[in-house]
Amino acid sequence: MASGERAFVSWLTRRYGAAKDLRRAGIELGIGDDMALLRTDRRILVTSDMLMDGVDFDASLHTPKQIGRKALAVCLSDCAAMAVRPRWAVVSLALPKLWSVAKVKGLYLGMEPLAKKYDCRIVGGDTNSWGHPLVIDVTVIAEPWPGIEPGRRDGMRVGDVICVTGALGGSIAEHHLTFEPRVNEAHRLAKRLGRNLHAMMDLSDGLSIDAARMAEASGCGIELNEDALIQVASRAAKSARGKRTLIEHILHDGEDFELLFACPPSAAKTATPKCHVIGRAIEKKGLWLVRGDSRLRRQPIKSLGWQHAMG
């Protein structure tokens, strides 16, 4: 890659820094200078995700396009979690020394369809090489949608129902590379529910971890219904083989990237037909599993999803 760096930067500049509609996109100065110059008259939100070969993808199995797509998609999912509008992206790469320019371009070509779909412009970043596996870091800058307050995870109230936007579990069977960020769904939910959207987040690390985070942030507990969870199990989770049960796959697999949100029971009916009620917010803190309608059989749920190891 080192020998082709100048040509690669020129390619980036032509592809992302010379569009005729840059000013319409709030870009006064894009790729090609030391910094991008962006224009906004609203509050801004910033999210960043770092993906590593051997942890978040496998470069020996997955194509550069697949890797690039996932790197942008996880940041767009953060935008969905707060029901905000993604605007600009900055991409930084630590490339294996033997990577060709064509493979590096593939990372960006993998991002392009999602970037165009959600009008999120790539405006800069950094590229370096080293003698280690690929690392890709994407930062997305977002704005609130006009008239819509950004969602948060700390507003759930006792008595709220807990809902998800889609199927859970089995993500390792390629879903983690092909998932669709719920940006549009989040926008519609926020418009329809307004202040009744009490809390929301995306399910990146697993329902058991992320639901516990929402409960802790809101100062209450969550009770999940086993029958309702089975109803939202993905086909991949149902067909998975191994030591985990179906419920364990639903709770702990992670990287579903669906939205988890809390709202009053009356509001859930108007949210969207594609949303599923899977539990309720309760006063007793923690995360609990209920079988059937019996509150006497409430069991604590351990948070066994994805957690980064730290010393």
Q: Are residues 137 and 202 in the same domain?
A: no
pLDDT of residue 3: 59
Q: Are residues 293 and 178 in the same domain?
A: yes
Q: Are residues 294 and 171 in the same domain?
A: yes
Would 37 be classed as within a structural domain? yes
Number of compact structural domains in the chain: 2
Helix axes 64-81, 101-117, angle to 10 degrees: 30
**How much is the pTM?**
0.91
Inter-CA distances, 153 with 82, 214, 216, 287, Å: 8, 5, 9, 15
Quote the tokens at residue 143.
């704005």
Q: What is the CATH number of the domain that holds 238?
A: 3.90.650.10
Would 140 be classed as within a structural domain? yes
Note the pLDDT tens digit of each residue in 222-256.
999 999 999 999 999 999 877 889 999 999 999 99
Beta partners for residue 300, in sequence order = 288
Would 270 be classed as within a structural domain? yes
Confidence of residue 309 (pLDDT cuts 50, 70, 90): very low
Lowest-confidence pick of 145-154, 227-236, 273-282: 273-282
Beta partners for residue 276, in sequence order = 164
Q: Are residues 256 and 287 in the same domain?
A: yes
Note the pLDDT tens digit of each residue in 20-36.
678 888 888 877 777 88
Would 154 be classed as within a structural domain? no
| Domain membership of residue 98 as a residue range | 2-144
pLDDT of residue 65: 98
pLDDT of residue 295: 58
pLDDT of residue 256: 96
Lowest-confidence pick of 41-45, 148-152, 190-194, 206-210: 41-45
Q: Are residues 170 and 139 in the same domain?
A: no
| Residue 241 CB-density burial (10 A; 0-12 exposed, 13-18 middle, 19+ buried) | exposed
Out of 83, 112, 144, a domain closes at 144
Q: What is the CATH number of the domain that holds 74?
A: 3.30.1330.10
Would 205 be classed as within a structural domain? yes
Please state the rounded mean pLDDT for residues 140-167.
Answer: 96
Which string of b and e fits 87-102 if b means at least 16 CB within 10 Å? Answer: bbbbbbbbbbeebeee
Would 281 be classed as within a structural domain? yes
Residue 125 has pLDDT above 60, yes or no: yes
Q: Are residues 212 and 180 in the same domain?
A: yes
Note the pLDDT tens digit of each residue in 45-79.
999 999 999 999 999 999 999 999 999 999 999 99
Note the pLDDT tens digit of each residue in 166-191.
999 999 887 999 999 999 999 999 99
Would 124 be classed as within a structural domain? yes
Supply the Cα-derived Rg of the chain in whole angstroms: 21
Q: Which amino acid is at 177?
A: L
Out of 110, 144, 178, a domain closes at 144
Task: Give the chain's mean pLDDT.
Answer: 91
Whether the Cβ atoms of residue 130 and residue 97 lie closer than 8 Å to each other:
yes
Inter-CA distances, 31 with 3, 88, 91, 138, Å: 20, 12, 11, 15
Q: Are residues 127 and 231 in the same domain?
A: no
